[in-house]
Amino acid sequence: MNSTLEVWNAATPEQATQQILPCNGSRAWAEQLTDLRPFDSAFALTCSADIIWRALPESDWQQAFDSHPRIGEHHAKAATTESLKWSAGEQATANPDETAKAELAAGNRAYEQKFGRIFIVCATGKSTAEMLTILNQRMANDPATELREAAEQQRQITQIRLRKWLSMAI
């Protein structure tokens, strides 16, 4: 069994919730996952994480969205220190110049005006140009479609972060 998973399985419920919260940002998600312990494998944990995520109401999705900084920025509405470090690493490939930063800022503002939340994209391995293209494509979505797409992007981010978390020593 994974050593991080072993330690997490043995933690108090509040400790376990706090330890896994940076992987997603939704307290309800973290608490529900904690309540399902113990997990005997990383696979069982990651599958359960997806099932819980998909069943959460929009308000809990929003809490997770709020834990991310805007693409091209370093601050979030509500994030843990670990979550912000992961976000910075996930966006590192983008490395935007001043023109791209301005385009991202304008795109972020337009997205927020249309959908009422920040633009969420699984940024790992994506360039600034790719993220701008995705943002522009998603601006054509209706609100319901875009909410589902944002939730799917958050699910992908969560899976990447769970794998990072499982590789850490607690």
Per-residue model confidence as pLDDT tens digits over 40-50? 999 999 999 99
Peptide bond into 38 cis (omega under 30): yes
Instruction: Give catalytic status of residue 68 as yes or no.
Output: yes
Q: Is the pLDDT of residue 150 over 90?
A: yes
Q: Are 158 and 26 in contact (CB under 8 A)?
A: no
**Which CATH superfamily does the domain covering 3-166 fall into?**
Oxo-4-hydroxy-4-carboxy-5-ureidoimidazoline decarboxylase (1.10.3330.10)
Q: Give pLDDT, residue 148.
A: 97
Q: Is the pLDDT of residue 88 over 80?
A: no
Which residue among the candidates 64, 68, 72, 87 is catalytic per the annotation?
Answer: 68
- Enumerate residues 6+ apart whose C-beta is below 8 A from 105: 70, 72
Residues 94-123 have a mean pLDDT of 89
Q: Tell me the pLDDT band of 87, cut-offs 50, 70 and 90.
A: low
89: nearest Cα among 22, 15, 136, 16: 22
Domain ranges of the chain: 3-166
